[in-house]
Amino acid sequence: MPRTFTGKEARQGRNGKRVLMILVISCLLIAIGWLEVELYGEYIAPNAEQGQTYSG
């Protein structure tokens, strides 16, 4: 006879603060990295006051 499981027994992982903290910290690290790239892009971008013209 096959064994029946309750919903709690059949779950593969635990819910908890540890998983939430990993998700929050990883999102914060991604946001910090994105901000650094944005700031670097602004730093290396040519200035509009230099009078660059495009002949495209």
Q: What is the pLDDT along the chain (56 residues), one digit of tens a residue?
A: 898 988 878 777 766 788 889 999 999 999 999 999 999 999 998 876 665 566 65
The answer to whether the CB of 52 falls within 8 A of the CB of 46 is yes
Judged by DSSP in three states, 48 sits in helix
Q: Where are the domains of the chain?
A: 15-44
> Distances in Å between the alpha carbon of 56 and those of 17, 23, 53?
55, 45, 9
The pTM (predicted TM-score) of the whole model is 0.57
Report the alpha-carbon distance of residue 30 to residue 20 in Å, rounded.
15
> Distances in Å between the alpha carbon of 24 and those of 18, 49, 55?
10, 41, 47
